[in-house]
Chains A and B, each alone.
Chain A
Amino acid sequence: MVFMGRLVKNIILVFSIPAVLITVFTYGFMAARKDSSTFFLRDLEGDRSVLNDIVISGYLEDRYHGRYFELKNGTLESSFLYYQHQDDIAGLKKPQNLVNAVIHNDFVYYYQFEYKISPGAKTEEQPEKNMPAANNPSLRRSTVFTDSIDIHVKITKRPADFTAPDFDLASLYLDPGLRYENSSMDIEFYRYLSDVEYQSVYTDYSLNPGSFPAPLPKLAMTVLNDELYFSVVCPEEYSGHNGIYKAVKFYRWWDETEYPGIVDTITEFSLDDPVIEAAGLEAVNDNLVLLLFENSVFKARLYNTRGDLMDELAVPGITSTEGLPEYQGFINDNCLNIFLKYANEEGFSKYIVLSIMADEDNRLILKHRTEKNSTGEIYPFDIESRGDRLYIAAFTRNMEEIMKYSASWLTPGHFMIHAYETKNGITLPVYAGELVTDAADDYNRHLYTSDTSPGNLSYYRVFESVRIEQR
């Protein structure tokens, strides 16, 4: 009774001390567990000492926390990061792998194409009676079929800070003379008539991309000496002209010009004879490298900024007969490292990595070439060429694993590190390793289910800002 009396007399301590202890203990637990995640490099092939020339760094993060890692001298070091606001998230600091944009000097340049019915092309219009579009009774739609379209480029420049007001939107337009002609009138445009009491006020055409019988074009953009250069990536189905262009002046949206902006043509070429398919444009050593297929043979052409062709390198064995490959380029010093992916409908993919060096005499030299066939998916983070070695850090997904999850993009992947060595013109693998983590646990909720709704993707740990650099 005396003890109970004492307890009641000091009741505040009876409650507060355990409450504080529980909180402190939990903080202790969190401090102890913050570095307990699975994070190590597993050697799969070769000796990791071949990685001593480079440093691989990056983040494994979701929106709440991250782990910065650095692989240096064969030793993997990592540290825990607790994100307290948006600015802490590495993946948002400098977006990479933008689909249709480049970021430079606090500005984003993004492109879109405008498709116009070619002047003089055959057209056939089918009005959609009593079908108001977009639930707007004053907007009516009809379908216009044609067999020939012209493709115009529009590039928009805006501040890279997406939270800032976009008053600074500025654009430029270019009609490079690129055309797509089809043998039949399969290309569908929607013609919108906005009218009041069916008296036409304006009409607008928009392409139905689903009706387009060829791959839609893309724009290759690169920045050299603070200036934006671009070229249209298009397969052999396109005709007319293409080239390398320099964006000289962007016009703000309030400048009432039909085709605003000033574009310099650096070089221009016909796509028809020989058949040329542009695949990419990169800036290397103050020059521009245009990657293309000429009569289905892969070539790299080195141009200076005046448009003079300085060298050309043909790489045999890489063709565009099965369509243009997906392309990604990585530059280190004077080397252009190219990742090409050919995918077929059976799910097999062929991956080719090339490393092309532009030397001091402005000659293009093929340093490395390696290729791999796979049923899985490979997405390179970075590719680096150092001396006679080629290093690749890539994210991969195995087909067997993809089958277990609800969708391939909801399947956890593997962070793979590959090193190759080229001797006597032959590139051979010398190392393969995997950065093993427990991030796959985040995707368990998609195991053995058909539900593909992921919720917010920023709840899943992903690798960001992965870099390979020289030591």
Chain B
Amino acid sequence: MRKLYYLVNHEFRSLYRIILVICIVMIALQQVLLVKSMNYNPNRFERFEFLFSDSGCIIVFLVCLFSVCGLCVFNAYSNYTESKSIYTLLTLPSPREYIYFSKIITYAVCFLTLLASQIISAWMGYGIFCRRILSQRFASTAVRPASNGLFLTFIRLDFFRLILPFGVESFLNSLAIFICLICTIYYAVICERSKRYLSFAAVILNLALIILSLVHRTGSMTVSVLNESGHIHVLKAALFLATAFIVYDSLRLIRKSAVV
């Protein structure tokens, strides 16, 4: 395990500065957008969750999320272009699975850091929002920040329901999406490096399952076949099964040195 821990730290050392910058930029941009949105007069009594979603904060998060995805891909390919290459890693006196899991754990921490930054941003934004509401002229007569407003934002905004699910089913679904996304990104690189282009079908399938889950979670009120409550269990099971397959296949390819 010490070797795995060492490998994880080694992988993360090449990423943490960029992750830090992405997180700081995301928090700063979101605060700017929120303040801009609050200054717009028709929004003076708007709920925080609508302010957050309408101000573009979610788009900022998505841009950062895709940046982190790109960073993970870049990191995987850097083993083929920089020192401490895949050849070095494969000759280390440690199980080859450690190479795979060190990458997955590193990417998971990158995404987790981004999620935590998003939560910090929401807390900060809500603090600014409350001060803003209380400083308004109308505040003395009727309007206060909504009671329990931040909690309601976490509960009622589809975006936060995805990243901070508050129910067991939703939590498992979000966890499945999270794990599936990380494993799929790395699996796509492994498939390309090992020239297993047919395996991209599994990548596409996993991405489709992730998209279907997101549609189900965010559009549950729309009239579609996806709104059946049983479908979320099927999707969750499919995500875990598909993830299990790509983890198995990734390990198989790494053990066979097919990625070289």
Contacts and interface: CB of A to CB of B under 8 A. Distances in A.
Tell whether A and B belong to one assembly.
yes
Contact of B119 (A23, A36, A65, A445): A23
A8 interface: yes
A18 B149 CA distance: 24
B220 A85 contact: yes
Given A12-B109, A87-B229, A441-B146, A64 B46 contact: no
Contacts of A8: 13
B143 interface: yes
Contacts of A447: 45, 138, 142-143
17 contacts: A10-B9, A11-B12, A12-B5, A12-B109, A16-B109, A16-B112, A20-B116, A27-B164, A30-B154, A33-B151, A64-B155, A82-B170, A88-B229, A163-B223, A163-B228, A447-B142, A459-B156
A27 B174 CA distance: 14
User: Which has the most chain B C-beta neighbours within 10 Å: A444, A448, A458?
Assistant: A444
B16 A15 contact: yes
Contacts of B16: 11, 14-15
Size class of the contact patch on chain B: 35 or more
B170 A84 contact: yes
B115 interface: yes
Give the dominant DSSP class at B's interface. Answer: helix
A63 B227 CA distance: 13
A464 to B, nearest CB: 15
Contact of B161 (A19, A62, A64): A64
B138 A26 contact: no
A38 B148 CA distance: 9
B245 interface: no
A64 B156 contact: yes
Nearest to A38: B147
A451 B8 CA distance: 54
A15 B19 CA distance: 10
Interface string A222-262: 00000000000000000000000000000000000000000
A159 to B, nearest CB: 14
B93 interface: no
B193 interface: no
Interface in B153-185: 154-156, 161, 164, 166-167, 169-170
A203 interface: no
A86 B169 CA distance: 13
Contact of A15 (B113, B120, B232): B113
Nearest to B225: A163
List the 9 closest pairs (A to B, CB-CB), nearest first: A441-B146, A19-B116, A438-B147, A33-B151, A22-B116, A85-B229, A87-B229, A64-B156, A19-B112
B105 interface: yes
Nearest to B133: A444
B142 A15 contact: no
A23 to B, nearest CB: 6
Contacts of B229: 84-88
B17 to A, nearest CB: 10
Interface of A: 8-12, 14-16, 18-20, 22-23, 26-27, 29-30, 33-34, 36-38, 62-65, 82, 84-88, 162-163, 404, 438, 441-442, 444-449, 451, 455-456, 458-459
B166 A30 contact: yes
A35 to B, nearest CB: 10
A67 to B, nearest CB: 11
A13 to B, nearest CB: 8
Contact of B227 (A33, A163, A456, A459): A163
Contacts of B221: 63, 86, 456, 458
A445 B155 contact: no
Contact of A12 (B105, B223, B228): B105
A63 B151 CA distance: 15
Given A12-B9, A15-B113, A23-B119, A444 B154 contact: no
Contacts of A64: 155-156, 161
Interface in B1-15: 5, 8-9, 12-13
A65 B227 contact: no
Contacts of B45: 444-449
Given A11-B13, A19-B116, A84-B170, A404 B220 contact: no
A18 B19 CA distance: 14
Contact of A9 (B9, B119, B138): B9
Contact of B146 (A33, A65, A442): A442
A361 to B, nearest CB: 49
A14 B164 CA distance: 22
B232 A449 contact: no
Contacts of B50: 445, 455
Given A15-B109, A449-B42, A34 B151 contact: yes
B213 interface: no
Contacts of B156: 62, 64-65, 459
Contacts of A448: 45, 138
Nearest to A29: B151
A9 B5 CA distance: 10
Contacts of B227: 85-86, 163
B185 to A, nearest CB: 18
B47 interface: yes
Contacts of B115: 19, 23
B12 A22 contact: no
A414 to B, nearest CB: 16
Contacts of A20: 112, 116
B206 interface: no
Nearest to A18: B116
A465 B123 CA distance: 35
A84 B232 contact: yes
Contacts of B46: 445
Nearest to B144: A441
B141 to A, nearest CB: 10
Contacts of A446: 45
B94 to A, nearest CB: 17
B42 A22 contact: no
Nearest to B12: A12
B146 to A, nearest CB: 4
A29 B169 CA distance: 20
Given A448-B138, A451-B42, A26 B164 contact: yes
Nearest to B120: A22
B164 A30 contact: yes
